Amino acid sequence: FGPMQMELMINALRDRGGQKTKDCPGGRPLSPKTTRHIACVVHSCFEKAVRWQLIARNPMDGIELPKLTKKAPRVVEKGGVGKLLERARETRLYPLILLGLATGARRGELLAIRWPDIDFESGLLNITKSLEQTKAGLRVKSTKSGKPRRFAVPAGALDALREHRLQQDEDRQLFSQDY
């Protein structure tokens, strides 16, 4: 196999390497990102074969990979913010949604916040970590930039957080050791 055959195989993966369905009996297309990940794994395998002198050169060297497409992040439109808050108001997610809207913090950062990260006196929120889901489960990691971030939290969001904390304390008492 040479680079041309490898590039053809990578392109075939991109075009029909996914799950076969009724609509796509030959296999649905894979995203460029997934295709690039597969190519990276295959490249690493061939590199090992070169180091072990099983092959003279890596047939993945020099192949052209599918271009990544940037997706615009989904955002709540200005007119939709009121609707979102109205619908969320009676749920336990309301403080989290309100805090996210008020700060612009990332989802994983919001989910990793603990009470000591919020200074209710000064109204400042310190974000130093993020929660991510892996195949092994949830894990706490550093922020995307690796640097802590600080936000000023509006009074309305602080009030919602105070109420949420009181509800948590009530739940803790109600469920005691099962909490």
Residues 50-65 pLDDT 10s: 999 999 999 999 999 9
Q: At residue 121, what is the residue type?
A: E
> Which residues have CB under 8 Å from 141's CB, separation 6+?
129, 130, 131, 132
The closest alpha carbon to 35, from 56, 13, 52, belongs to 13
- Write down the pTM of the prediction: 0.61
Buried-exposed string 150-177: b where 16+ CB fall within 10 A, e elsewhere? ebebeeebbebbeebeeeeeeeeeeeee
The pLDDT score that the predictor gives to residue 18 is: 81
Dihedral sign (CA 87, 93, 98, 103): negative
Assess whether pLDDT exceeds 90 at residue 1: no
pLDDT of residue 117: 96
Q: Where are the beta strands (DSSP E) in the chain?
A: 118-119, 124-127, 129-134, 137-142, 149-152
Q: Percent of the chain, pLDDT > 70? A: 100
pLDDT band per the 50, 70, 90 thresholds, residue 166:
very high
pLDDT band at 20 (very low <50, low <70, confident <90, very high): confident
Q: What amino acid occupies position 150? A: R
Residue 47 burial (10 A CB sphere; 0-12, 13-18, 19+) = middle
pLDDT tens for 120-142 read 999 999 999 999 998 899 999 99
pLDDT band of 175, cuts 50, 70, 90: very high
Name the band, by pLDDT with cuts 50, 70 and 90, for residue 154. very high
Query: Per-residue pLDDT tens for 67-86?
Result: 988 888 788 888 899 999 99
Residue 134 neighbours by CB distance under 10 Å: 8
